[in-house]
A and B are shown apart, each in its own frame.
Chain A
Amino acid sequence: MFESLQKKLLDVIRNVRGMGKITDKNVKDIVRQIKLSLLEADVNYKVVKAITDNILEKARGTNVLNSITPAQQFVKIVYDELVSMLGSKEAELRLIRRPSPIMLVGLQGSGKTTTAAKLALLLKEEGKRTMLVAADIYRPAAIEQLKILGEEIGVKVFSENNKDVMDICKEAMREAKDSLVDAVIFDTAGRLHIDEDMMRELENVKRLIEPDERLLVVDAMTGQDAVNVAMEFDKRLDISGIILSKLDGDARGGAALSMRYVTGKPVKFIGISEKIEGGLERFYPDRIASRILNMGDVVTLVEKAQRVMDKQTAAEFEKHLTHSKLTLQDFLDQLKEIKKMGGISSLVDLIPGDFKRGLKASSVDESQLKRIEAIINSMTPEERRNTRILNASRKKRIARGSGTTVADVNRLLSQYEQTMSMMKKFVKGGKRFKGIRLPF
C-alpha cells in the first residue's frame, strides 16, 4: 500500500539525512523531489502544488535551518503535511437514526457492491443488525451478486426485481423499520459523475431515504481525475465520507490524498483485501502517514490481532506457552489467526521499516504456510498433541493425506522442535509472553 510513494519519499529523506546542513538552495531541490514523488503517485497536480508550497515555507523557517538535527525537523514537516492532507483525525461513522440509512455511491467498477458487503459484515461484527439493499437495477446480475455476498456473510439482502429504484428504496426503508434493523446499506448503481439523469436519480434517492452517511467509493488506482469525481458527487449529494477501495494492489493512493484535500470530506474506510472478511479497515490518517514514511503502524497491528484473535484461543495459547507445552494444534490455531488478519504479507506492511527489511528479503511464503496447515490437518488429535508417536508409517499416511512428502513432514517436525526448545529457554529466562507471538 502506497509503496511507490513511500519508496520515493524515503529516498528523499535519506538524502536529507545525509546533509549536514540544510540550506535555502537544497531545500528547494528537496521540495522539487517531493513534488515529483507525489505526482508520480497520482496526487492531483493542484494539491501537490499547495502542499509543496507549504513544506517549502515551513522548511525555510528558521527552526529548521538552524536546528542541530535538520533532517528530523524536515521529516516532521513532511509528516505533518501528509497528515493534514489526509485529514487530521479519524472519522467515525455517524449512525444517528434507527434504522440508519447508509448510501454507497460511485463510478462503475469502483467496487461498491463488494464494499457494501464488507461494510455490512463490519457493522454486524460490531453487533449492529444490518440489512443490505440492492438498488443497482442497471448492471446485469448486480442484484444477484449482492444476494450471494449477503448469504455468505449472513446479512439479509433486500431486493426486488423489475421495480424502479425509488420504489425499491422506499420499501427497503419500510422493511428495515419493521424488522428493527440498526443500519441499512444501499448499494446504488455505478454512474458517471457527468451523467445528468443518473446523478439526479441519486439526488432523489437521497431525498427519499435521508441517509445518515453518504459514502463515495473510489478506486485507489484512480488518477488525476479523482478530484473531479469527488467534487461532483460532493456537490450533488454532500457526501459524508470516502471509501478507498482496492488498496491491496500497488496503487499509489495519491487519489486518496487529493480527494480529502479538495472536498474536505474524510476518508473513512479503506479496502485492503478481496476477501469480504477483514477486507475493510477504518482509516487513520496519522497511521497511514507513518506507513508512507515507513515508520510502521504498530497500533493497527496490535488492534488487528486483538480484533480477530479469539479470546479463548489466546488464553489457551498463552497457558501452553508458559508451560512449554505448545502443541501442533496450537500451531494450527495460530495459522488460522494469521489468515484471519489478512495473511502474513498484510501484516508485514504494518511493521516499522528497519524490521521489515529482513522480512521482505526472506519473502514470507504464504504457500509454505498452506502446506504446514495441510500437514497438521492430516494428523489425528493425538498426533498433534504428542509428536513422539509419529513413526514412519504414520508420517507416510500424513504425507499422503496432505499431498506432501515425508520430507516435508519431517521438516515441519524439526521446525516445531526447534521452536519448542527456543520457547523453553525464553520461559526459563522468566520472560512472559503477552499477546501473540508467531511460533515460526
Chain B
Amino acid sequence: MKKILGKLSNALKRSREGIFSKIRDVLKRGKVSNEDIEEIEELLILSDVGVDMAEELTNELKERLRENKMASPLEVLKEIMKEKLRDGDMNGNITHSKPHVILIVGVNGVGKTTVAAKLAKKYMDEGKSVLLGAADTFRAAAIDQLKIWGERVGVEVIAHRPGADAGAVAYDTVKAAMARGIDVVIIDTAGRLHTKHNLVEELKKISRVIRKVKPSSPEEVLLVLDATTGQNAIKQARIFKESVGVNGLIVTKLDGTAKGGTIFGIKKELDIPVKFIGVGEGIDDLESFDADEFVDAMFEGNLHE
C-alpha cells in the first residue's frame, strides 16, 4: 500500500508540473507508439476532457498520423484540439438595439459576481456605458460585494434589499438602462445548483420579466464555469442551456493548475462556445477567448504554468 501511495504522489507531482508539457514531451520523442497514445489518453483524462473525448482525440491523432507519416504529432494534436474548440465569429459582439442585456448565471462559487464586475470593466474600457444589476438577493452580502466592485470599476449598481425579488431587480435595472440610454446591462444572479428546481425557475422568471421591458432581451446568457470543475460541468451546462438558453461560457480560475478540459465536452455535446476566460485575480484578467491561442498556450505552458 505504501509503495502504491509513493508512486502515486510522484506521478501526480509530474502531472502538477504540467499535463500538456508532458504530452508535448511524449509526442516529441519521434515515432508515436501505441503506449505513447495510451499515455496521452491518460494525460488528457487528467486535464478533465473526459474519457470519451480523450478517446476521440487520440483516435483522430492516430488516424491522421497514419494518413500523413511526415506530420509532426504535436502539431497534429494541437490542430485537432483547436478544431474542437473553434467557433465562427462570436466574440462579444454588441447588439445595436440598446441596451445589450447580459445575464450571468452559474452554480455557487464559480465567481459570477467577480466576473460581472470584470465584464463591466471590459465594456467600460471599450467606451461603452454599463449598468450592473445585483439580482443575487439570496447569498448573504452578495449585493454588498457587487456594490464594492461597482465602486472600484466606476459602474453604477442597481440593487434592492437582500431577499428581495430577483426578477424585480432585473426589471428595474433594464428599465433604468433604457431610460438612460445605457449600452450594456450586466445582471448578476444568485448561484444555484442546477439540480435545485426552484432556483432554476427563478432564472426563467428573470428572463421573462426583463422581456416585458425589452422583448429581445436577454441578448446573452453567459454561464460561468469554474475551470477546476470536473465532468459535472457538462451536466451543469446542459441544464442551464435547457432552462434559460445559455449562449456562451466564461471559464474562470484558469490561473490555477486546472486545465478546464471540460470545455471540449461542452462544445461537442451542447455546442456552447467559450467567450471569455478568467486568467487571474486582477480586474483586467478577463480575456476574450480564442481557440488557437488557448490551445497553443496550453502546450507552451504560458497560460498559467
Contact = CB atoms under 8 A, between A and B. Distances in A.
B47 interface: yes
A111 B147 CA distance: 21
Given A221-B229, A223-B229, A40 B141 contact: no
Interface in B245-262: 253, 255-259, 261-262
Contact of B139 (A50, A145, A194, A254): A145
Given A39-B45, A221-B232, A249-B195, A110 B109 contact: yes
A83 interface: no
**Residue from B11, B111, B228 having most chain A Cβ neighbours under 10 A:** B228
A42 B232 contact: yes
**Residue from B48, B148, B255, B258 having most chain A Cβ neighbours under 10 A:** B258
B230 A228 contact: no
Contact of A141 (B48, B141, B230, B259): B141
Interface in A311-361: none
18 contacts: A40-B50, A42-B48, A46-B8, A46-B11, A107-B256, A109-B109, A109-B253, A140-B149, A141-B144, A141-B148, A194-B257, A219-B226, A219-B228, A222-B229, A223-B258, A228-B16, A231-B9, A262-B5
Contacts of B229: 219, 221-223
A224 B45 contact: yes
A179 B15 CA distance: 47
Contacts of A224: 45-48, 230, 258, 261
A108 B193 CA distance: 17
A148 interface: yes
Contacts of A219: 109, 226, 228-229
A125 interface: no
A109 B226 contact: yes
A250 interface: yes
B231 A248 contact: no
A388 to B, nearest CB: 36
B46 A262 contact: no
Interface residues of B, number: 51
A268 interface: no
Contacts of A152: 140
B19 to A, nearest CB: 9
A152 B48 CA distance: 38
A36 interface: yes
Contacts of B109: 108-111, 219, 246
A439 interface: no
B195 A225 contact: no
Contacts of B210: none
A50 B45 contact: no
B287 interface: no
B262 to A, nearest CB: 7
Contacts of A255: 230
A28 interface: no
Interface string B1-25: 0001100110110011000000000
A147 B141 CA distance: 9
Contacts of B42: 45
B295 to A, nearest CB: 18
Interface of B: 4-5, 8-9, 11-12, 15-16, 42, 45-48, 50-51, 107-111, 139-142, 144-145, 147-149, 162, 193-196, 226, 228-233, 235-236, 253, 255-259, 261-262
Nearest to B143: A141
Contact of A192 (B12, B195, B232, B256): B256
A251 interface: yes
A111 B193 CA distance: 13
A153 B229 CA distance: 30
A80 to B, nearest CB: 13
Given A142-B141, A144-B145, A219-B228, 4 more contacts: A47-B8, A221-B230, A248-B195, A262-B12
**Residue from B109, B162, B236 having most chain A Cβ neighbours under 10 A:** B109
Interface string A209-251: 0000000000101111111110110000000000000101111
A252 interface: yes
Given A50-B4, A228-B16, A223 B231 contact: yes
A202 to B, nearest CB: 16
Contacts of B142: 141, 145
Given A46-B8, A226-B228, A255-B230, A221 B107 contact: yes
B48 A109 contact: no
Nearest to A191: B281
A140 B145 contact: yes
B11 A223 contact: no
A193 interface: yes
Nearest to A249: B193
A251 B232 contact: yes
Interface string A180-211: 00000000000011100000000000000000
Contact of B148 (A109, A111, A140): A140
A139 interface: yes
A193 B231 contact: no
Nearest to B110: A109
A274 B230 CA distance: 21
B235 A229 contact: no
A50 B8 contact: yes
Contacts of B111: 108-109
Contacts of B140: 144-145, 148-149, 152
Nearest to A48: B45
A147 B140 CA distance: 9
Nearest to A218: B228
A144 to B, nearest CB: 4
A110 B111 CA distance: 10
